Amino acid sequence: MGGLGCIGAIKVMLIVCAIGRTAHSSPPESRYKWTTMDWLEAQNVSHEVHNVTTADGYQLQVQRLPRLGAKPVLLVHGLLGSSLGWVCMGPERSLAFQLHHREYDVWLANLRGVAPYGRQHIDFTDVMVEFWRFSFHEHGAYDLPAIIDHMAKVTGGEHRASRGGSGADEGGIHQQVVLIGHSQAFNAFLVLCALHPRFSQRIQLIQALAPLARLHRQVRFDSFQVRHLMKFVKKREKANKFEIFPPGYFRKICQAKRDLCEYYAKQLAGSAQNNNKLLEAFNYEYLLQGGSPREIKHLQQIWKSGDFISYDFGTAENLQVYRSVEALSYNITQITVPIILYFGETDAIATPEGVHAIYAKMLRSVRSVRRINSRKFNHLDFLMSGDVKSLVNDKLIEQMEQFLEGRLPYVIE
């Protein structure tokens, strides 16, 4: 190897080693601005980029850490999230890397509205109000079907190629996918299963971290915080700012008003496992961002009504959209896809009571309800806790593998 080539190789090795050494500490300033692709490239891990177009015209980028022929696992971010949440704790503590190391075929979803991977549409730009007319309903009705169908097409083609191009598609276990989601992702999963029953045979297991489907009288914040948030949303709309939290917004505001940030983080997310790290997630440019007015309003409607309902447009528009004066209620009691739920003790929005209310409503499908073994564990700790590997990821993988092997114990904690 020539001198320059040798120097380049050494630089790459030093970068990878440095990332590995700092995996258990806060990332340096520069890494707060990294995207998912920056993380994948820095780890020198094999990865692919897939472009998926939904039936209503949104163009989404999905990242993949491929293992040909392996069990496909789709990781889906939650409210204001992105695929960055599955990689930003580095190779030792991030779920995407852990699953890849355990020989799973890992796919990272980016749903509509996510920067920079969910900002394209065949007709609209992301400064147009039309682009932001979505909530978790569209995530489940359009985004997830398009992504899962694309996964099946790709892995099916690889399977046929491995057999020399012969043989029919196998529609059984080979094509089934495991879904893992955080926060609002579970709402999208329920919409997917309720509106598209064909996916009930395509999804082998759903694992839901801090799910949000039951909010009425189950959250630990009060109407004052909700009203304040809705006033902020309305103010953004009046100013024609249809993205509620642009990339970097939280970082900027929390640097200027740290006390205010800490107050709302504790109120809306809950007391963290380590409150010295309470605002760590807000330092990242692309970790918490996006959000449409309708997305926030839809969650408010669930919180207010007590039902898991579609978006309520008001009487006149409901008649046009649903042919009913009221918003439709999703029939989640008929969902049969196996589900495992996880909750944190001090999560203010996906509370233990709220998660158990989901279990009570979905007895046919919930196979286990697990408490994270920490006295304090909030909504963002599922992604950012210093102990996320041992408390969340290792347990999640263990539960998943027990299920896949047919030996998952029925435990309700």
pLDDT digits (tens, 9 = 90+) for 88-108: 999 999 999 999 999 999 999
* % of the chain with per-residue pLDDT over 70: 91
Q: Are 176 and 151 in contact (CB under 8 A)?
A: no
In the prediction, which pLDDT does 10 show?
A: 35
What integer is the mean pLDDT of 349-362?
A: 93
Assess whether pLDDT exceeds 70 at residue 25.
Answer: no
Q: pLDDT digit string (tens) for 163-215?
A: 776 544 544 444 799 999 999 999 999 999 999 999 999 999 999 999 997 77
Q: pLDDT digit string (tens) for 384-397?
A: 999 999 999 999 99
- Single pTM value for the model: 0.91
Q: Which CATH superfamily is domain 31-161+173-412 in?
A: Alpha/Beta hydrolase fold, catalytic domain (3.40.50.1820)
In the prediction, which pLDDT does 214 show?
A: 77
Assess whether pLDDT exceeds 90 at residue 223.
Answer: no
Please state, rounded to an integer, the average pLDDT across all residues of the chain. Answer: 90
In the prediction, which pLDDT does 4 show?
A: 41
Assess whether pLDDT exceeds 60 at residue 23.
Answer: no
pLDDT band of 277, cuts 50, 70, 90: confident
In the prediction, which pLDDT does 217 show?
A: 72
In the prediction, which pLDDT does 16 show?
A: 41
Torsion angle of C-alpha atoms 324, 312, 78, 240, degrees rounded to 10: 130
Assess whether pLDDT exceeds 60 at residue 24.
Answer: no
Q: pLDDT digit string (tens) for 251-265?
A: 999 999 999 999 989
pLDDT band of 28, cuts 50, 70, 90: low
What integer is the mean pLDDT of 350-375?
A: 95
Residues annotated as catalytic (active site), given as ranges:
183, 347, 379
Q: Are 221 and 354 in contact (CB under 8 A)?
A: no
What integer is the mean pLDDT of 144-166?
A: 89
* % of the chain with per-residue pLDDT over 90: 77
What integer is the mean pLDDT of 405-413?
A: 96
Task: Round to whole Å and give the CA distance between 356 and 339.
Answer: 13
Within 99-199, strands assigned E span 105-108, 120-121, 177-182
What integer is the mean pLDDT of 313-340?
A: 94
Instruction: Check residue 118 and report its DSSP letter.
Output: S
Output b/e per residue, 25-54; b: 16+ Cβ within 10 A. eebeeebbebbbbbbbebbebebeebebeb
Taking residue 263's Cβ as centre, other Cβ atoms within 10 Å add up to 12
Taking residue 398's Cβ as centre, other Cβ atoms within 10 Å add up to 11
Assess whether pLDDT exceeds 70 at residue 11.
Answer: no
What integer is the mean pLDDT of 258-286?
A: 90
Task: Identify which has the larger pLDDT, 266 or 14.
Answer: 266
Task: Round to whole Å and give the CA distance between 136 and 329.
Answer: 14
